[in-house]
Structure 1
Amino acid sequence: MKVLLISLALILANSCKSTSEKEAEQQGNTTETSMNMKEMCPEGGECTVEVRENATLTVADDEATGGLYSVIEAGNKTVVTYTYAKKGPAGTADGNYSETIQFELPEVTNTMSLSDSNLQDVQLLFGKQCYCKGEAGHYRVTNGSLKLEKTNKGIMMHLDFKVPEVTEQRVTSISRMISM
């Protein structure tokens, strides 16, 4: 009887797909890579890159709060989301901290170099999610530089930026290959 129950439990566990796998199948063209390399990710956190093809990024104003938020919808561009996440101390309800950087790539891009206010040509957006009064939220990035170069492996990205409205910003530079 025990063998039967254990076998049944193993079959059920192996036959189920996680919610994220189902969402990826529905999205169709979503690629996510995770990296825990110290030289690429600020200390103590985990960084991920999500690439959504056939999408568009819209930066919208929240009239109620005066803040910004991002909306990703179907479209003819590619949306890149880079996330840095650090778990808070055990036993804290709101100690987690994360930063997101989002931008969209035009349909055909071989090389691109943008700086300062031209960063808004790709809707470059910085988000800070934490319990940090007055700083949590999304900000348009207008101070920095973004260089993209398409290769046979994907797109090489170099981003250096600063958000003056934020006193503590952990991600200020990203250099990595984005697999497509």
Structure 2
Amino acid sequence: MKRHLLTIICIVFLVSCKSQYVNLEKDQVFKLSSDCPKEGKCKVEVKDEFTYELEKGKGGVINPVFKENTETKLFIFTYSKTKNKELTDDFYQEKILFILPYKIEEGEYSGNDLKDFNISFGKFCFCRDVAGYYPIKTGTLKITKDEIDFTFTVELDQQKIKHISFKIPQ
């Protein structure tokens, strides 16, 4: 009798610990739920069946190279500061790029786990020494069935975007 009870308890324990997965689909429209700085506009673009790699091009400039991949979605978050028309060099933009597989386990990812999502930060402005793309190594990516939430830092001065969040369409 004790053996049967122990078996039932083990089965219940294993079933209750089953991982929960989020299934992303093609052609979903993601709505931004995090705040955007008042001086500009934010948007999120999603490319189905794409990935990217940062590659060094001519002049040592690092840029993303987009590639087809049927197993992942590419997310591109963009913040563009509204340009002051009276200033010729007032352009400023930040981008966050990352990939997610179509089926991903709900959870919180940080540290070395962030490498799996190939997360990069791009800063573009009239600031030659810091303009370009950088891998993001410090942050926390939380994925639930309803939302993708990412808080991060990069080793740059005056980073405007440190948190992005958007709803997963149901």
1:5-154 aligned within 5 A = 40-62=35-57, 64-65=59-60, 67-76=61-70, 77-151=72-146
From the CA coordinates, give the structure whose radius of gyration is larger: 2
1:1-35 per-residue CA deviation (whole Å, 9 max, x = no partner) reads xxxxxxxxxxxxxxxxxxxxxxxxxxxx6666676
Structure with the bigger RCO (C-alpha within 8 Å, sep 6+) is 2
Number of residues of Structure 1 aligned to a counterpart in Structure 2? 144
Quick one: distance in 2 between partners of 1:86 and 1:79? 23
Quick one: distance in 2 between partners of 1:32 and 1:130? 29
Counterpart contact for 2:47–2:75, Cα < 8 Å = yes
Quick one: distance in 2 between partners of 1:111 and 1:178? 12
Quick one: distance in 2 between partners of 1:112 and 1:63? 39
How many angstroms does 1:56 deviate by? Answer: 1.4
- Please list every run of 5 or more consecutive structure 1 residues that lacks an aligned counterpart in the other structure: 1-28
How many angstroms does 1:89 deviate by? Answer: 1.0
How many angstroms does 1:118 deviate by? Answer: 2.4
Quick one: distance in 2 between partners of 1:94 and 1:162? 26
Counterpart contact for 2:41–2:82, Cα < 8 Å = no
TM-score of the two chains, using structure 1 as the length reference: 0.70
TM-score of the two chains, using structure 2 as the length reference: 0.74
- Please list every run of 5 or more consecutive structure 2 residues that lacks an aligned counterpart in the other structure: 1-25
Quick one: distance in 2 between partners of 1:118 and 1:56? 17
Decide whether aligned partners of structure 1 residues 55 and 116 sit closer, same or farther in structure 2, where only a CA change above 3 A counts: same
Give the aligned CA root-mean-square deviation in angstroms: 2.3
1:30-64 per-residue CA deviation (whole Å, 9 max, x = no partner) reads 666676x8x61012110000011111122223363
Q: Displaced runs of 4+ in structure 1, greater than 2 A?
A: 29-35, 61-64, 91-94
Quick one: distance in 2 between partners of 1:95 and 1:33? 29
Decide whether aligned partners of structure 1 residues 110 and 162 sit closer, same or farther in structure 2, where only a CA change above 3 A counts: same
Quick one: distance in 2 between partners of 1:33 and 1:44? 22
How many angstroms does 1:176 deviate by? Answer: 2.1
